[in-house]
Structure 1
Amino acid sequence: MQKLLRHIVTTIITSITILMPAHAQWYQASGSSFIDSSGKNIAKTRATENALKKALLVAGASVSSVQQVVNGLMTKDELSVRASGIVNGFEIVEEQHQDNVVTVTIRADIFPQEKKCFAADYQKRLLVTKTHIKHREQANIGGIYSLDKQIAHQLNAQLQSNTRYMQTQLALSNTTEFARYIDSFEQNKLKDLTRGIANMTQSQFVLYTEITDLSFDQDATNSWKFWQEKILPRNFGLTIHLFDGNTGESFLSEQYHASSPWTYKYREQVDVASNHFQTSPYGLAINRLLEQAVMDLDESLMCQPSQAKIIHAGETELLLNIGKKHGVKQGDEFSLLHQENFIANNGQQYSGFNVSAYKVKVTKVTQDTATVTTLDGEILGNIQHNDLAVRY
């Protein structure tokens, strides 16, 4: 007992000593994780890791250093730790459990980098499209053809609940030609498709997803129980493709794979939207995989510049398609980009931008739009409708 008290006193004194420098700042962030078969403690650790990553990125840490710092801290026995370097320490300030999700809020004492992630102040607009099942014949067992819509729903729900850096919307009514274009390497058509969808939905980024594997493994998980029907592991493969809606160019592509026992009978038709499926071993494995995909999207987009399209251009005043609900405040300043498209010698079409010398400031803001004017009342030269305003 005395040894424990000495340890607590030493920790407090050390904490006070370390926290003296004025350069360290507190950052608060939340992270969530599904509780699967690995248990609540592992889910809590994943949620804490997610929250710490967000705090580090907002403080200005590079993505490469974030993983190194997080891995170093999360190997500690205690979740409230002290460390040298970029993270002085962090602590859990709130923990919530709801249904099969644990949400952890942490407060981290971080030495910020010279350049902070100012873009994290704004929410990026992301369109989540209907998932494409690459090999539909693999969905025959269980009749899980509606998994294309369900995965998009789950991914969108996780994005909405687990990140404050993206504002998402879901498009399920129409099937796009994405799968055909990407399989046949029709890059120009893919760019045109993406720009068209983004323009129609006022989105900065477009997310396409493909279910690449729903096959079964042949080794039963219960082969020693010879009196039971075989339970075979079923695979789940997912590829996410993130595209820039303004240029139509690929921004991120990641592949994910999971395998878990398929606990349903061979001829049983399965409702993938039911709670029974969501809490089955296979459903939980999918949720865990989507959780990782959301974390990757969060890290990739958090510090990307927020781009707003100019939807009306006057001589000294512009109207932008970004507003209060995206984080814009009166007095915020934007740089302007004039869009130019060109065709290279190989016939490929590319989008380019000329950075304008003008800077503009927000004078009026509504939920969906912002009015900006030049800082000195100067007339805006060649800036026009569909050009971009960017906050770096």
Structure 2
Amino acid sequence: MKKFVGISCTLFCLVAGTPASAEWFEVTGMANIKNGDHSKARRKAVNDAITQALLFSGASVTSVQTVTDGILTQDQLKLSANAEIQSANVISESQVGDTWQVTLHVDIMPQTEKCPISAYNKQIAITQSQLKNKHQATLGQIFDIHKATSERLYQTLNSQRASLEPVPYYAQPIEVNKFFNQRFDYNEQLIETVTANTNSQYVLLSQITDISGGEKLNGSLAFWKDDKYVRNFKMDFALFDALSHERIWQQQYSAQGIWPFEKTKLIDVYSDTFWQTDFADEIQSILNQVVIDLNGAVACLPTKGKILHIEGDRVVINLGRMHGLENGQLLNIAHNNPITDGDGRKYLHQIKTINQVRVVQINAQNAIAVNISQRPLNNIQLNDLVEIQVEPNESFSLIDE
């Protein structure tokens, strides 16, 4: 299992003659050394360190692999061009037991245009992934690999979250095939069920499409050695907005790793024995990248919620402390009036209103807000939408889609 060491210090360094200032971070990354491959362990340790720096600073990046695609020398890491990272210098690197440890000094330039709404969290339901080709799990009898991977993703997102607050929903199997086919004729009721049980604005669905075993690494002449195989791993992800049922992000990831066990050996996919293998390490690398991509996909999207209860000039909403809500916050209201076509498909239709409410009491998952206008909330209904107003002086920001 990959170990993470947090940010040891953060300082602001003013650059003379420039309006912007860079932040520098001293970060330490670690990765296990598998099969004596020090080069791979060093690369993963660098990725680990830079991932921490990026997530901590709030910088946006599409791929850590792209950022760290360069040559690691004794004193400097040459990075591919990226507007966010100015430089990354190696302070020290060494082997510590069975791990490789790299400490970097990373200079990150703040974004010229940061999304003010990124300061607010969005809850995301992590559902149980589906194993598409179950017969491929025969090698090692890893028929629960989809469950273990979903749990691992939740743990990874929970430890590295930036814009997203994960909610576990991986104990219950769900059918996701239709969400990934070309016709895209999925049942929206599944999204409704998940978000109703998790109070989440987003629902993440996934499926593992390939865990097939490849060629044997050991030759027939080396019969005295343990069997080792190259094994594939491919996984699809799709993120849905629970309020509009729209698919707002989709990505496929693939990797290969060494499967070090004999063909007849039964493997517990929840054990450290499995997660310390090269194959599982590749899975974890994918999950680390998924966390970064998910945060990037939603960072500039508004945090929205629903009205759960109305009592006079007071409303109860499903946004709370977990979302970054504070007392005194202003919320805009829009009617949720979906349009249904002849085939029964629903389309998001939001009707803007001039109504605003102010938060007066906050709980972990919900809050109470009061009407700030002399106009009564006569036309406001249950399940109408609320959105955090980021700039009080700006006009109403909900988009009529």
Would you say same fold, with TM above 0.5? yes
Contact 2:240 2:248 in 1 (8 A): yes
> 1:217 aligns to what SS in structure 2?
strand
TM-score by length of 1: 0.79
Q: Bigger shift: 173-182 or 143-152?
A: 173-182
Q: Residues 1-392 of structure 1 correspond to what in structure 2 (within 5 A)?
A: 18-19=15-16, 21=18, 23-24=20-21, 26=23, 35=32, 37=34, 38=39, 41-54=42-55, 70=67, 78=76, 110-114=109-113, 116-180=114-178, 182-183=180-181, 185=183, 187=185, 189=187, 191-218=188-215, 220-223=216-219, 226-227=222-223, 228=225, 230-344=227-341, 348-391=345-388
The question of whether the paired residues in 2 share the 8 Å contact of 1:47 and 1:102 is answered with no
Give the SS at the match of 1:154.
Answer: helix
Inter-CA distance 104–148: structure 2 relative to 1 (3 Å threshold): farther
Unaligned runs of 5+ in 1: 1-14
Cα 1:281–1:44, aligned 2, differ >3 Å: closer, same or farther? closer
Letter in 2 for 1:128: I
Structure with the higher helix share, 1 or 2: 1
In 2, Cα distance between equivalents of 1:39 and 1:366:
46
For residues 65-123 of structure 1, what are the alpha-carbon distances to aligned partners after superposition, in whole Å with 9 as ceiling and x for unaligned?
x9899569998964699x99766678999x9x9x9798989885635435x32222222
The residue matched to 2:46 in structure 1 has which SS?
Answer: helix
Rate the CA distance shift 1:55–1:279 in 2: closer, same or farther, 3 A: closer
CA RMSD of aligned residues (A): 4.0
Distance 1:305 1:217, change over 3 A: same
- The corresponding residue for 1:12 is none
1:105, 1:323 → 2: CA distance? 37
Q: Percent identity?
A: 22
The alpha-carbon deviation at position 188 of structure 1 amounts to 5.2
- 1:162 Cα deviation (Å)? 1.0
Contact kept in structure 2, 1:28 and 1:55, CA below 8 Å: no
Provide Cα deviations, 1:161-180, integer angstroms capped at 9, x if missing partner: 01132211212332223225
Q: Match of 1:304, as an amino acid?
A: L
Offset, 1:292: 1.3
Distance 1:29 1:17 in 2: 17
Partner residue of 1:11?
A: none
SS in 2 for 1:236: strand
- Residue in 2 that maps onto 1:4: none
TM-aligned CA deviation for residue 299 of structure 1 = 1.3
1:286 Cα deviation after fit: 1.2
Q: Is the 8 A contact 1:321 1:370 kept in 2?
A: yes
Structure 1 SS opposite 2:214:
coil
1:258-279 Cα deviation digits (max 9, x unpaired): 1112111011111111111111
Sort the Cα spacing of 1:352 and 1:91 in 2 relative to 1 into closer, same or farther, 3 A. farther
CA deviations over 1:182-227 (Å, ceiling 9, x no partner): 44846351x2211222122211111111110011223x32327532
- Counterpart Cα distance in 2 of 1:113 and 1:202: 33
User: TM-score normalized by structure 2?
Assistant: 0.77
Superposed CA deviations along residues 11-43 of structure 1, whole A, max 9, x for unmatched, are xxxx97724655537598989775464555423
Looking at structure 1, the residues matched to 122 and 103 of structure 2 have their Cα atoms a distance apart, in angstroms, of 23
Judged with a 3 Å threshold, the aligned counterparts in structure 2 of structure 1 residues 70 and 232 are, in CA distance, closer, same or farther, namely: closer
Q: Once the 2 structures are TM-superposed, how far is the Cα of residue 158 of structure 1 from its aligned partner? A: 0.2
| Matches of 1:246 and 1:71, distance apart in 2 | 37
Measure, in 1, the Cα distance between the counterparts of 2:140 and 2:69: 42
Relative to structure 1, the CA distance from residue 40 to residue 260 in structure 2 (aligned partners, 3 Å threshold; closer, same or farther) is: closer
Give SS of 2:307's match: strand
Q: Is the 8 A contact 1:24 1:112 kept in 2?
A: no
Kept after mapping to 1: 8 A contact 2:267/2:274: yes
The corresponding residue for 2:398 is: none
Q: Secondary structure at the match of 1:242?
A: strand
Does the CA contact (< 8 Å) of 2:13 and 2:21 recur in 1?
Answer: no
* Cα distance change of structure 1 residues 117 and 224 upon mapping to structure 2, 3 Å threshold: farther
User: How many residues end up aligned between the 2 structures?
Assistant: 369
Contact 2:51 2:64 in 1 (8 A): no
Q: Distance in 2 between matches of 1:390 and 1:104?
A: 41
Larger CA deviation: 199-208 vs 67-76 = 67-76
2:28 and 2:378 map into 1 onto residues whose CA distance is 45
SS of aligned partner of 1:385: coil
Gaps of 5+ in 2: 1-11, 391-401
CA distance in 2, matches of 1:320, 1:101: 48
Change (3 A) 1:333 1:225: farther
For 1:85 and 1:174, the matched residues in 2 are separated by: 42
Match for 1:113: what amino acid? T
Call closer, same or farther: CA 1:34–1:164 in 2, change over 3 Å: farther
